[in-house]
Structure 1
Amino acid sequence: MIELIEYGVLGVLMGAVGGLFGIGGGLIAIPVLGILFGLDQQLAQGTALVMVVPNVVLALHRYNQRNRIELRHALPLVLMSFCFAWLGALWAVGLDARSMRLGFVGFLLALSLYNLVRVFMAPAAVYPRMRYPWPWLGVLGAASGTMGGLFGVGGAVVATPFLTSVFGTSQVVAQGLSLALALPSTSVTLITYALHHEVDWAMGVPMAVGGLLSISWGVKVAHALSEKLLRILFCGFLMLCAALLTLKV
């Protein structure tokens, strides 16, 4: 019982931080599970996905109620992301834990550097129509799905900045499309990890419950802070996680 409460509290904290940075908690939970609980990389990613999938379902439902997602743009992203997330997950479960952790550290550093550069860039122009529809949306879906399957972070964290900076969508449209992309890719990744016994359900389920209870708190705090400050905090957190994970390799 004490362990269940401990995991639930961890889920509450991860859900709040995930809501703060708009990433569902998975990218935060994976380093924490590896550093504090000693899980190997694949098991940490699979367990974190138990929390991520219901968070994505809830966020997508609430988003679609307010801002309808265009099916013609979402469909190529969803289909390609689903297929390539499965391939990325199969690749991930076949790698040794050390290589996976090194790859994840590199992913965190690249992501933090990209977001840090965006802090000092001028805001991307928003176009009335998407600049690059099919087949480029399919290419983005494939790349995002592969990263999501390989590192267990859904792919939305990859897709959103590209949709705004390259495809010319607004932040609102990008987040909606990214959530649509993330739902099938996170689901198939979780199933693949589970079939290869890389999920700790006893830890993941209470974390998921805690995350659902707290993700809205993080969102409220995020709206009270400037986007520039949020991005700097996010970059700093990712670099710290990368440094701590490097020590665990």
Structure 2
Amino acid sequence: MAMYCQVFYIYLWGLISKKTNMTITTIIFLIVIGLLAGILSGIVGIGGGLIMIPMLILFLGLSQHSAQGTSLAVMLPPIGILAAMNYYKAGFVEWKFALIIAATFIIGGYFGSKFAVSVSAAVLQKIFGVVLLVAAIKMIFGK
């Protein structure tokens, strides 16, 4: 599975590398963002987007829209599969819940992205900030 992911991303890199000029600094930032998002997602089960999106905006200057689109592109199935396999092996996956959520997540993701691309970056950034704040408060002060 890991080999499949590597081949997939090498193929994608071949498609996009001809169209973009990235500095070594940008590449290093992207590697650090990916590692941090992956490690924290694996440890605490949060979506990598909670980590990636702010870092893409603050350190690489992406717009809110571009950061969210990039984050979603990263979350292609091969990434989640590897992390989920470890939880499954340890007996921590509720498959019925996961399948129902996954099916509705596809629909919600479609309509959510349609809405997101139709609003201004400022509005989108405020919505994202509120979601982060509510999640943080709930995690810190919740049961």
User: TM-score range with shorter-chain normalisation?
Assistant: 0.5 to 0.7
Sequence identity of aligned pairs in percent?
A: 20
The match for 1:37 is: none
The match for 1:124 is: none
Matched, 1:138 2:56: no
Q: 1:248 to 1:136 in 2, by over 3 A?
A: closer
Which residues in structure 2 correspond to 1:13-162 (within 5 Å)?
Answer: 69-71=12-14, 129-131=21-23, 132-162=25-55
Unaligned runs of 5+ in 2: 1-10
Matched, 1:201 2:95: yes
CA distances 1:37-87 after superposition (whole Å, capped 9, x unpaired) = xxxxxxxxxxxxxxxxxxxxxxxxxxxxxxx9534989xxxxxxxxxxxxx
Structure 2 contact 40–46 (Cα < 8 Å) conserved? yes
TM-score, scaled to structure 1: 0.41
2:46 and 2:16 map into 1 onto residues whose CA distance is 21
2:71 and 2:112 map into 1 onto residues whose CA distance is 21
1:142 and 1:204 map into 2 onto residues whose CA distance is 25
Q: 1:178 to 1:73 in 2, by over 3 A?
A: farther
CA distances 1:2-35 after superposition (whole Å, capped 9, x unpaired) = xxxxxxxxxxxxxxxxxxxxxxxxxxxxxxxxxx
Superposed displacement of residue 151, structure 1: 2.4
Unaligned runs of 5+ in 1: 1-67, 75-127
TM-score, scaled to structure 2: 0.65
RCO greater where, 1 or 2, for CA within 8 Å and sep 6 or more?
1
Q: 1:178 to 1:161 in 2, by over 3 A?
A: farther
1:211 and 1:178 map into 2 onto residues whose CA distance is 12
Structure 1 contact 144–155 (Cα < 8 Å) conserved? yes
Superposed displacement of residue 191, structure 1: 1.0
